[in-house]
Chain A
Amino acid sequence: MPGLLDYSIWVLCTLFEAGVVICAARRGVFRRYLALNLYMLASILVSIIRLKILLAYGFGSAEYMYCYYYSDLLLTIGLYCALMTLYVHVFEDLGAEQYVRLGAVLLLLGTAGFSFAIVQQFSTKILSHFVVEVSQNLYFVGLVLTYVLWGAILKLRETRTRLIQLVLALGLYFSLFAASYALRNLYPGSRGVWDYVTPLSGCILPLAWGYAFWQVPEEARTVPAHLVAVPR
């Protein structure tokens, strides 16, 4: 059963998510970054649904487990779509929107196919394990794609500070979650500080995105190569 600290982190994270939408709306960029804001709204909705099911059926119930993992998969796909819209922002001058969308769908299907192949070999409860497997693999695919996007930002000399910060924050989030999932696979029975690291890392994304929307003006510019350059 979650304790006071778990509930506090949960509520805090949901408030931060609401904060992102409010910051974006107040700065007049809600529609410009629509997918990111829709993801945050979906995340708030999922939190409310999860809480209702938790209170109705309890933490150890099958209903809560199914709700948690299925909604997690939907949110991960949502975040994957949000990442694709950041690709569209970066590549908008090249008119490569259609190719990005096609590539995203193919990669999503490929990840699902790969996950299904793994689950089919090692598991009897195919559907429930498939949902968890796809979710984990999508985090890693998301991480790799964010890294590629960061490479594209450097290569194309993208200078919009807000966009750069949105992408970097997403990279932080994906890498923490991918590491967290991997560590859980390595040590499945272990509990402790890592139980709090995963939900706390969930706060990073709304915090950083909220900061980018509120504090960084749309016209602010940064040379991304300067962020990477280390004098030798």
Chain B
Amino acid sequence: MTAAFIFVVSVVIFLQFFVFYCRSLIAVSSKQPLSPEVQEVTGIQRVPSGEDFNRVMQLLHLCPERPEDRKGIQAIGAYFRLLSFVSSTFAQLVPSMKAWMESERGHCTYFAAIALERRISFSRDMLAQQMDS
């Protein structure tokens, strides 16, 4: 009985911490402006949409990987899948929740776009270093 209680409480708290943690990652990236170049590549003009997430992720995987942003991208990918699942199931019953989910999914897309921008500049730096040497 005690173990079952601890298990349920731990899972609930884990989900809460996971959501807060992912939102803290997104909050850091949301303060960074997106360059016009990346806006053009990703097609994100003003408000990012959750529908663009997979496309931006595909672009992201085309760029050379930066080890330091891998963990954040994986966490946000899992958060996006969680949001998509809730959005297509429970959120159907609550319209305001669905709108919030969509805005959160858009923030995930913005995070991925910022990561893409970092990877592009990382690739350019690498290329410049190779040219120099």
Contacts and interface: CB of A to CB of B under 8 A. Distances in A.
B13 interface: yes
Contacts of A146: 17
Contact of A150 (B18, B20, B71): B20
Q: Is the interface of B mostly helix, strand, loop or mixed?
A: helix
A214 to B, nearest CB: 5
A83 B38 CA distance: 40
Which interface class (under 10, 10 to 19, 20 to 34, 35 or more) fits A? Answer: 35 or more
A182 B23 contact: no
Interface string A164-201: 11001101100110110111011000000000000000
A210 interface: yes
A2 interface: no
Interface in B31-81: 68-69, 71-72, 75
B88 interface: no
Nearest to A184: B3
A227 interface: yes
Given A169-B21, A214-B68, 6 more contacts: A168-B20, A175-B10, A182-B6, A208-B21, A226-B27, A231-B100
Interface of A: 140, 143, 146-147, 150, 161, 164-165, 168-169, 171-172, 175-176, 178-179, 181-183, 185-186, 207-208, 210-211, 214-216, 220, 222, 226-228, 230-232
Interface of B: 3-4, 6-7, 9-11, 13-14, 17-18, 20-21, 23-25, 27-28, 68-69, 71-72, 75, 96-97, 99-100
19 contacts: A150-B17, A165-B21, A168-B20, A168-B21, A171-B14, A171-B17, A171-B21, A172-B14, A175-B14, A176-B14, A179-B7, A182-B3, A186-B3, A208-B71, A208-B75, A211-B72, A226-B27, A231-B96, A231-B99
